[in-house]
């Protein structure tokens, strides 16, 4: 049969060829193969009668009886297009995986007109992934939300006009689970117009609808305290809650008659908070630092404990008393500033001149006093906390910067020897048996166990429990001597109370000493009103 197909084989749909033995992908990827297959099909003897029959039926208007056609469901297998391979000689097909063949993912609108042997594969059911990002935090579950609304109804019952500030504390403590001295800060955060009232709807909008209910307590406190245009907490943000603490805590009632010392107490608490929690030391407390610090636990403890002196972290009044009295003793002219000569008298002249020079060079920390050559009260708080508890990380960082003369991040033998030389000279002047630096260096290496014995890194010091004693050896003669002849009784006491820090023990001893001196002085009860000779 002479048939002109005009070179159109390359445009044929491979599925129309119904070549069960050959993958349509192979035909599509190589049009030359399709052309050769079509030529071979036309040369088959049974092809000519089939094509003529189809042409005659088409001219006569008879519907095409093609296998797989929707127009002829009763089509028989006798008119099937002949295979190009003899019976039983077709090579096996390559197995297809549902993930590797693009044909599987291809969806057709319906069955092939010519009955393609490939089955239509339905798409797998899509797995619903729950929402995990919420722009304004995750909304509360219905059960928690309903419970909170029920509590709101109870506290605001019969108060349609709202609650006043002096009535708001139970809401802060019972519903919000915050320390009671956050009541004023929370009230003002909700009452943005300053009406003096917080209605039920206003509270629900702020606490429930803005998803404060589902935040962790650190994020709640951070959101309540910080200014809306800032992304950190500053010293000023803590003053409102400390004012309320001073006004309401039973352990601080005695200070209400001396507002000047209320302010000093609040300042000292803030400085202690930023010393331990604001590890960057920039005066801007981030949410991350707030979560990693122990401030939240101390706030909750202060709210529950009637004896404020039992809250050793940050809030103890006795600790404030010790810090303030120590500063007052050194500030001889009472201008609230101290210089080098004042500081050298600290601890009965315990420190060397070289370490004091480094402190006043503002190497470990820039002074906030703004007066050249003078240390302010905040600077002194950082100093005394670092000096009296050299086991804490802020203290180790403070003194490490002092000893690191070249600022290269490691302490070398020469740097340590520079500071120890003055210690050695003081021992000789006091008729003490001097200890050579070579022996001291071996002792320090044994105490710290550095990774490289040629120098000491900050990581090495933080990894040793005896690092504080290293700094005492270098620049605090009194503590060096005490370490060399330490009392076994004191060591046993420390082991019995492992939760107490070096600062806790120091503050306790000093408070007893200072209070005994105060009791022994004459007219101590009138000191508040008489003069500025002593702070209490």
Above pLDDT 70, what percent of the chain?
77
352 vs 484, which has greater pLDDT? 352
Q: Position of tokens 């069955």?
A: 111
Q: pTM of this prediction?
A: 0.72
- pLDDT class of 45 with cuts at 50, 70, 90: confident
Does 249 share its domain with 364?
Answer: no
Q: How many domains does the chain have?
A: 3
The answer to whether position 91 is within a domain reads: no
Range of 91-95, 127-131, 209-213 with top mean pLDDT: 209-213
Q: Does residue 35 have a pLDDT over 70?
A: yes
DSSP 270: H
Handedness of CA 218, 221, 227, 228 (dihedral sign): positive
Lowest-confidence range among 30-39, 365-374, 375-384, 486-495?
Answer: 486-495
Q: Is 142 left (phi over 0), alpha (psi -120 to 50) or beta?
A: alpha
Specify burial of residue 479 (Cβ count, 10 A radius: 0-12, 13-18, 19+).
Answer: buried
We report the CATH number of the domain holding residue 419 as 1.10.238.10
Does 256 share its domain with 189?
Answer: no
Q: What pLDDT score does 493 carry?
A: 66
The answer to whether position 73 is within a domain reads: no
Measured CA to CA, the distance from residue 386 to residue 331 in angstroms comes to 19
The answer to whether position 131 is within a domain reads: no
**Mean pLDDT score, 19-43:** 71
Q: Decide which of 162, 188, 214 is a domain's last residue.
A: 214
Q: Are 479 and 502 in contact (CB under 8 A)?
A: no
The answer to whether position 76 is within a domain reads: no
- pLDDT class of 40 with cuts at 50, 70, 90: confident
pLDDT in tens, 445-457: 999 999 998 899 9
Does 437 share its domain with 482?
Answer: yes
3-state class (DSSP) for residue 338: strand
- pLDDT class of 32 with cuts at 50, 70, 90: confident
Q: Does residue 136 have a pLDDT over 80?
A: no
Q: Does residue 495 have a pLDDT over 90?
A: no
The answer to whether position 458 is within a domain reads: yes
3-state secondary structure string across 380-426: HHHHHHHHHCCCCHHHHHHHHHHHCCCCCCEEEHHHHHHHHHHHHHH
- Strand (E) or helix (H) holding 299: helix 295-304
Instruction: State which residues form the domain around 474.
Output: 335-515
Q: What pLDDT score does 54 carry?
A: 83
Does 185 share its domain with 299?
Answer: no
Q: Does residue 93 have a pLDDT over 50?
A: no
Does 391 share its domain with 369?
Answer: yes
Q: Does residue 473 have a pLDDT over 50?
A: yes
Lowest-confidence range among 25-29, 86-90, 158-162?
Answer: 86-90
Q: What's the gap between Cα 521 and its chain centre?
A: 50
The answer to whether position 376 is within a domain reads: yes
pLDDT in tens, 186-198: 999 999 999 999 9
Kindly state the tokens that stand for 304. Answer: 């529950």
63 vs 129, which has greater pLDDT? 129
Q: Are 34 and 9 in contact (CB under 8 A)?
A: yes
- pLDDT class of 219 with cuts at 50, 70, 90: very high
Range of 102-116, 302-316, 432-446 with top mean pLDDT: 302-316
- Strand (E) or helix (H) holding 419: helix 413-429
Q: What pLDDT score does 400 carry?
A: 97
The answer to whether position 255 is within a domain reads: yes
**Mean pLDDT score, 30-34:** 72
Does 351 share its domain with 471?
Answer: yes
Specify burial of residue 238 (Cβ count, 10 A radius: 0-12, 13-18, 19+).
Answer: buried
Q: Does residue 144 have a pLDDT over 90?
A: no
Does 197 share its domain with 241?
Answer: no
H-helix segments, 43-141? 47-59, 102-105
Measured CA to CA, the distance from residue 294 to residue 85 in angstroms comes to 82
Q: What's the gap between Cα 270 and its chain centre?
A: 21
Kindly state the tokens that stand for 532. Answer: 């500025």
H-helix segments, 61-131? 102-105
Beta bridge partners of 174: none
The answer to whether position 180 is within a domain reads: yes
Does 382 share its domain with 303?
Answer: no
Helices 235-248 & 217-225, crossing angle to 10 degrees?
Answer: 100
Q: Decide which of 214, 249, 269 is a domain's last residue.
A: 214
We report the CATH number of the domain holding residue 178 as 1.10.238
Closest CA to 416 of 380, 379, 453, 385: 453
């Amino acid at each position: 049969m002479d048939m002109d197909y005009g070179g159109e084989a390359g445009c044929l749909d491979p599925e129309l060829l119904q070549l069960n033995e050959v993958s349509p992908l192979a035909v599509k990827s190589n049009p030359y193969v399709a052309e050769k297959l079509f030529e071979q099909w036309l040369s088959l003897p049974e092809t000519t009668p089939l094509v003529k029959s189809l042409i005659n039926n088409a001219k006569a208007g008879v519907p095409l009886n093609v296998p797989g056609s929707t127009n002829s469901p009763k089509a028989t297998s006798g008119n099937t297009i002949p295979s190009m391979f003899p019976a039983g000689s077709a090579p096996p097909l390559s197995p297809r995986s549902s993930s590797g063949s693009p044909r599987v993912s291809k969806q057709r609108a319906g069955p092939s007109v010519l009955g393609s042997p490939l089955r239509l594969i339905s798409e797998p059911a899509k797995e619903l992934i729950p929402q995990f990002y919420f722009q304004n935090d995750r909304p509360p579950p219905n059960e928690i939300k309903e419970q909170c609304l029920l509590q709101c109804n109870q506290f605001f019952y019969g108060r349609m006009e709202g609650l006043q500030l002096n009535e708001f504390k139970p809401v802060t403590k019972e519903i919000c689970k915050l320390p009671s001295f956050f009541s004023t800060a929370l009230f003002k955060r909700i009452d943005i117009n300053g009406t003096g009232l917080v209605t039920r709807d206003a509270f629900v909008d702020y606490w429930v609808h803005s998803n404060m209910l589902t935040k962790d307590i650190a994020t709640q406190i951070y959101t309540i305290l910080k200014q809306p245009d800032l992304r950190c907490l500053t010293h000023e943000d803590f003053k409102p809650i400390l004012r309320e603490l001073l006004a309401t805590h039973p352990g601080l009632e005695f200070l209400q008659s001396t507002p000047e010392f209320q302010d000093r107490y609040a300042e000292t608490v803030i400085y202690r908070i930023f010393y331990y929690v604001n590890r960057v030391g920039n005066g801007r407390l981030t949410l991350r630092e707030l979560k990693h610090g122990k401030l939240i636990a101390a706030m909750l403890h202060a709210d529950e404990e009637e004896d404020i002196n039992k809250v050793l972290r940050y809030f103890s009044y006795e600790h404030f008393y010790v810090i303030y009295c120590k500063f007052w003793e050194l500030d001889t002219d009472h201008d609230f500033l101290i210089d080098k000569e004042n500081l050298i008298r600290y601890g009965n002249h315990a420190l060397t001149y070289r370490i004091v020079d480094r402190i006043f060079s503002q190497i470990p920390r820039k002074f906030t006093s703004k007066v050249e050559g003078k240390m302010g009260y905040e600077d002194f708080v950082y100093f005394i906390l670092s000096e009296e508890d050299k086991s804490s990380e802020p203290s180790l960082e403070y003194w490490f910067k002092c000893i690191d003369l070249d600022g290269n991040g490691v302490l070398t033998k020469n740097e340590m020897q520079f500071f120890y030389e003055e210690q050695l000279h003081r021992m000789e002047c006091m008729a003490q048996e001097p200890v050579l630096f070579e022996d001291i260096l071996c002792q320090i290496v044994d105490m710290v166990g550095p990774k490289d014995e040629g120098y000491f890194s900050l990581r090495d010091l933080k990894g040793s429990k005896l690092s504080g004693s290293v700094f005492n050896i270098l620049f605090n003669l009194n503590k060096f001597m005490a370490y060399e002849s330490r009392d076994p009784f004191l060591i046993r006491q420390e082991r019995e109370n492992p939760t107490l820090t070096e600062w806790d023990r120091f503050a306790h001893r000093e408070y007893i000493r200072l209070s005994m001196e105060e009791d022994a002085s004459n007219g101590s009860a009138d000191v508040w009103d008489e003069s500025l000779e002593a702070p209490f």
